[in-house]
Structure 1
Amino acid sequence: MEKIIYLECIIATAIRYWLFESDHNVILANRIEVSTPLNSWKRVLEGVVLYNEGTNPYVGDMFHETPLILWFFTWIIEHFSIKFINLLFIICDIITSFVLHQTAEMYLQQLFQQQEKDKITYAEDVDEALLKKDDVSLAPLYVLSAYLFNPYCILNCIGKTTTVLSNLFLSLFFYTMLKGYHFCTCNILVLSTMQSFYPVILIVPLCLYSYRLTGKQSIMRAILPVVYFLSSLCIAFYMSYIITADWSFVNATFNFILNVPDLKPNIGLFWYFFTEMFEHFRPLFLCSFQINATVLYLTPLSIRLRNEPVLLAMTLTALTAIFKSYPSIGDVGFYIALLPMWKHLFQFMQQGFIVTCFFIGCSMFAPTVWHLWIYSGSANANFYFGVTLAFATTQIFLVTDLLFAYVKREFMLKHGISKSIEGKDVKLVLD
């Protein structure tokens, strides 16, 4: 198994390195599906140049990374060549995949152990719904492959977007949460929150996992991560203030994400809607869209998945990738790579073929329609928004299908798989 892991890492590294050495990296770095105002490498370079010249990079509408990222890349660009920086992005991607592999391994072992404890409460005819030992050993390898060879993740790396770092932070969040290193988890979550804001809602599954960790369910254990998180967040803000010597970065980062002033097209839903919006309706719908991207699903999902905080964290990560103001395919590729962790639910999913076809179709149509709109002039914004709307709908189908599969499996474990009403066999279907 280890040989397969190393072989996959070598092949994935070679693919990324070859693409970096080709001319495709320049093209990909400018694709709107890959780069956004928040993660663009070109904007990082401009921010570093302004910072080195003594100009505040947060004045204007060019740079939107955090001061911590600004300081990091300033040091990297000053001391290393472009080829090393390319290699750094590849290394971050490989580390992310390896961390996800270890995370999946730990999580599935915990699920299997919990299943063995709960078997006495299951119905008699549920063997085919149980988590198998093969799933425990193979699913982590599928997670590794799903990240290393996912076209979305590869394009994200070749485009040198800072989403590569975001994905690394999120993978470390899942890993340290499962390890029980909650102080470290909170620090990682702070870094991720400072960069893109939306991961702040992951504090809820962290608290739920902390509450259940030792078997001694305690409110204090659930509150402690919040204290760690807020303390670390205050320190991060103060460090950012020291780097820039003023608070203008808050307006250029958090305020930029929440108010969505840049309406350049992307794979999200904000840009088209607010381009067509009457200005006096903007505050109302801005609040509606941001609530939908953050807290709208948080309470009901947290209640329903209170015993599955890792699934809750993945679901929230997926929903923010769909509904956030400036999404990219790197965000989508990350949560798709996590799906094999719930391989035992795939047999209960009903939309797999449709979702796969729509993912392929949208991935092909998006650049085609963009070319027709921008370069050929034979299409318009409605065409491209139609593709992004279909892409978002596809992701919603995927997430809801997985959650329905989880509910169906829970029901079958408790009541059995074969059911009949008045002597007639019936099939459980969730609409």
Structure 2
Amino acid sequence: MSTLIIYFLGAFVRYWLITSEYQNVIAERIEISTPLNSWKRVTEGLHLLKLGIYPYAGDSLHESPLNLLAFNCLVKIFGEYLHIVFVVCDLLTSHLLYMSAKKYMEQIRKTQERNKANYAADAKDLLLTDKDFALSPIYVCVVYLFNLYTIFNCVGMTTTVFGNLFTALFLMALNYGSLFAALPLAIVISQSFYPILLLSPLFLHFVVTRKSYIKAGAAVVLCVMFWSIITYLCYRIYDRWDFVENTYGFILTVPDLRPNIGLFWYFFIEMFEHFRSLFIYSFQINVTILYLIPLSIRFRQDPMLLATSLLSLTAIFKSYPCLGDIGFVLSLYPCWKHLFNYIQQGFLVSCCFLVTTILGPTVWYLWIYSGSANANFYFGVTLAFATAQIFLITDILFSYTKREFSLIYGRIRKLNSKKAQLMLE
């Protein structure tokens, strides 16, 4: 009953805001709507489609043809009640995350029972209890439903709502060890490309938990095959390949430099044009390849944590991030609430999130409407926001490592006959 109340309250908040006069204001915010997820741009594409005009003739639409076809069906079926679809999808995402966290906590319980004999005697109080296993999935659900970032993402009617839904479906299928995880991952890749990094946790999950390289390879092959089929279907809709330039090409080359909460726009505005290729390669390597291999090696035994880490880094460094991406990642962190005691930057990160969330719209108003600030002020806020996210994920990962070390070698360590403490510098 209490869980139903949580879902009801989450739905009520979203429905109230999405039908209120604030919806348009929220949907226009650059922190929420980007060129990639704006429903306004989807509406423009659908209008061009209705007029018989090729929707990719201009530079406003960046959804794939298959997604545009799906959105067209939704508009025709639900009409003026389309906002209910976004609310229902968000509720379904929260439930999928709850199921995913529940299964993940079961896996942690089995791992803990299997390795308990190898743990140090003075580390027994670090073991998770039945209460921890039961509460973490509920916290995941609650954080997603009542996180301002995810609420505004839903109210703004961004297509990130659907991306989060399929990402949550992928995580649930991943934790259940189903090859079906390949399909939602292929759909998410076709929408925003960067989730291609999740092929690593998909492969490692079957290697670690199923002890099968055949299933691991089959999962990756299935995902690539589904992605290829989706891309081919997109081609067959118009018998033209130039949609690739408006989707993947737009994501990778970053031609639209309107301000957002990311880091790309400011650097590309300030730099000389002949350095553009260097910056493009540097930034895209940073968000795709740079962290993938070391994180995959270090956290290969925990694909769920690896997937969350990659999603977090993508939300920080991708070319067109939004609050919906960040809110989704934040809702996964309660899976590791047992690590919060190890976190060293918790107060700093909390303050940064609070201050930058308030300052962002304020500085934007001073810059655009009042004229008493400039781009440097707004980028300073987005840079602090990104730094807070970096501190948070590094703190979580280091806390995970520190807890592993304490479980095996004990909590009390001595250096030169004095108590020593493992700290993040």
Q: How many matched pairs? A: 425
CA distance in 1, matches of 2:198, 2:130: 29
Aligned to 2:390: 396
1:41-92 superposed Cα distances (whole Å, 9 cap, x missing partner): 100100111112211111221000111210011111123222x210000000
SS of the counterpart of 1:125? helix
Give me the whole-angstrom Cα distance separating, in 2, the residues matched to 1:32 and 1:271: 12
1:280 corresponds to 2:274: yes
- Find out whether 1:173 has 2:170 as its counterpart: yes
- TM-aligned CA deviation for residue 422 of structure 1: 4.0
> Could you tell me how far 1:425 is from its partner in structure 2?
1.8
| Residue correspondence of structure 1 range 72-91 to structure 2 within 5 A | 72-82=70-80, 84-91=81-88
1:367-386, aligned counterparts within 5 Å? 367-386=361-380
2:270 partner amino acid? E
Partner residue of 1:363 out of 357, 373, 378: 357
* Corresponding residue of 1:256: 250
For 2:390 and 2:415, the matched residues in 1 are separated by 33
Q: Which segment drifts farther, 378-387 or 129-138?
A: 129-138
The yes-or-no answer on 1:151 pairing with 2:148 is: yes
User: 2:106 maps to which residue?
Assistant: 109
In structure 2, what residue type is equivalent to 1:352? G
Letter in 1 for 2:58: G
Partner of 2:56, secondary structure, is: coil
Choose which of 44, 53, 56 in structure 1 pairs with 2:54.
56
C-alpha distance in 2 between matches for 1:80 and 1:174: 28
Look up the match of 1:128.
125
Matching residue of 1:164: 161
Q: TM-score, normalised by structure 1?
A: 0.97
Q: Which runs of 5+ in 2 are unaligned?
A: none
Note if contact 1:143-1:341 (Cα within 8 Å) is conserved in structure 2.
yes
- How far off is 1:107 after superposition? 0.3
| Residue identity matched to 2:141 | L
Counterpart position of 2:326: 332
State the Cα deviation string for residues 76-131 of structure 1 (Å, max 9, x = none): 1123222x210000000000001101111110011011100001111111122212
Write the deviation string for residues 286-314 of structure 1: whole angstroms up to 9, x where unpaired. 00000101111000000000111110000
Counterpart of 1:188 in structure 2 is 184
3-state secondary structure, aligned to 1:81 = helix
Aligned to 1:44: 42
Indicate the percent of aligned positions where both proteins have the same amino acid: 50
8 Å CA contact 1:96–1:168 kept in 2: the answer is: yes
User: How far apart are residue 221 of structure 1 and its match?
Assistant: 2.6
Worse overlay, 34-43 or 223-232 = 223-232
Paired with 1:173 and 1:263, the residues of 2 have a C-alpha distance of: 31
Residues 206 and 213 of structure 2 are in contact (CA less than 8 Å); yes or no, is this contact kept in structure 1? no
Gaps of 5+ in 1: none
Per the alignment, residue 240 of structure 1 pairs with 234
Structure-2 residue corresponding to 1:18? 16
Which letter does structure 1 place at the counterpart of 2:61?
A: F
1:277 positional shift? 1.3
Counterpart of 2:122 in 1: which secondary structure?
A: coil
Question: Following the alignment from structure 2 to structure 1, what is the Cα–Cα distance between the partners of residues 239 and 77?
Answer: 24
> In structure 1, what is the Cα distance between the partners aligned to 2:41 and 2:331?
28
Residues 59 and 248, structure 1, Cα contact 8 Å, conserved in 2:
no
- Answer yes or no: is the 8 Å Cα contact 1:140–1:340 preserved in 2: yes
- 2:205 counterpart residue number: 209
Residue 167 of structure 2 aligns to a residue in which SS?
A: helix
Q: CA RMSD in A?
A: 0.9
Q: Deviations over 1:344-390 (max 9, x none)?
A: 11111111111011000000000000000000000000000000000
Which amino acid is the alignment partner of residue 411 of structure 1? Answer: F
Residue 73 of structure 1 aligns with an amino acid whose one-letter code is F
2:289 to 277, 292, 295: 295
Quote how far apart the aligned CAs of 1:240 are: 0.7
- Determine the C-alpha separation between the residues in 2 that align with 1:77 and 1:285: 39
Q: Which residue of 2 aligns with 1:231?
A: 225
How far apart are the structure 2 equivalents of 1:19 and 1:90? 11
Provide the rounded CA distance (Å) in 2 between the counterparts of 1:53 and 1:180. 45
Shift of 1:420: 2.1
Residues 146-170 of structure 1 deviation map (CA, whole Å, 9 limit, x = unaligned): 0000000000000000000011011
